[in-house]
Copies of this chain bind each other. A is one copy, B any other.
Amino acid sequence: MGTNDNFYALIMAGGGGTRLWPMSRQARPKQVLPLVGERTMFEIAVARLEPLFPPERILVVTVGSMAAELRAQAPDLPPENIIVEPVGRNTAPAIGLGALHVGARDPAAIMVVLTADHYIADTEKFRGVLAAARDVAAEGHIVTLGITPDHPSTGYGYIETGAAKGAVGGFEVFEVTAFVEKPDLATAQVYLDGGRHSWNSGMFVWRVERLMAEFERQQPAMLRHLERVGAALGSDAYEATLAETWPRIERISVDYAIMEGAEDVRVIPLDIGWNDVGSWAALLEVNEADAQGNVVLGKEPLCLDTHNTLIASNKLVATIGLEDIVIIDTDDALLVCKREHAQNVRELVERLKNDNRERYL
């Protein structure tokens, strides 16, 4: 096992989304909501890094509108570890900015990029794989954490695995032969049956040096922007330089910008109870249910003959005779939805946009 002193975590916490409308809103996205138990997704994302990472080596990238909320939710992190983008530019610039900060602290740093709004059931195994991935990355590889599929999902990109490269820390490591975009259902079924594909979870581990070399090779224009910001890091000119540079930087995901064109990539396929909490139905999976299969967020409801139902409200909710229903009550909007239609919330959101009812988004 390698040393841990140069191992940094970068949590990506700037994204928005409306798949969990009406609780998640543009100004209050999924990661700051208490969706699993009483802690927010972001609080959980920070907490599960202990004891592998001390607070000093946990950094967060977010946007200005959310910085105060995230600082409040992670009071143990040094305030300067919350890195604020002037505007969101997708994941490649955000990760580049995080890498500048990490690299300034330790040029030999190894950095894991993590998400703030995904659920992981087996946190101990998760930390184990992070340590293993660190050791693989220490050798110079780019490591991606793949999720072993349990159904033919069309909602994720897939990682195609090649030759086995042995085990590290108890986890099998494979060569990556391709990153593939979200497939159609038939293709997803082929991937599932073949056993050679993992879901792309958006979690990566690399030396900062190696990442910067990939930027140089694949995204030289973006690297020039990043270098300008990096030169101002620690000086009074930092904020202004960032504010001036950021709107000019290309909006692009790290998958397109770096991963698809990278060589010498490794994947560690994982079965850690990962869930991207992509719809309200997922909350019934990741939360502990009561004896009737019901999951409650917020005030305790009064339920008669009600099963496998999700109830989130700050007021008294009473239910009778419900099965597989999602009830999400907020101050200005209420969603009642059949569990298997939960993914259609995005259609509701589209309708609200088209109806000029953006105030609800």
| Interface residue ranges, A against B (CB under 8 Å) | 22, 302, 304-305, 313, 315-322, 325, 327, 329, 331-338, 340-342, 344-345, 347-348, 351-352, 355, 357, 360
Contacts and interface: CB of A to CB of B under 8 A. Distances in A.
Nearest to A344: B320
A321 to B, nearest CB: 3
B321 A352 contact: no
A336 B322 contact: yes
B302 A351 contact: yes
B316 A334 contact: yes
A315 B341 contact: no
Contacts of A302: 348, 351-352, 355
Q: Closest 8 interchain pairs by CB?
A: A321-B338, A321-B341, A320-B337, A320-B341, A316-B333, A317-B334, A320-B344, A318-B348
A329 B334 contact: yes
| Residue with the greatest number of chain B CB neighbours at <10 A, chosen from A305, A315, A318 | A318
B334 A304 contact: no
Nearest to A337: B320
Contacts of A331: 315
A316 B347 contact: no
Contacts of A320: 335, 337-338, 341-342, 344-345, 347-348
Contacts of A327: 334, 336
A330 to B, nearest CB: 9
A345 B357 CA distance: 34
Contacts of A305: 341, 344
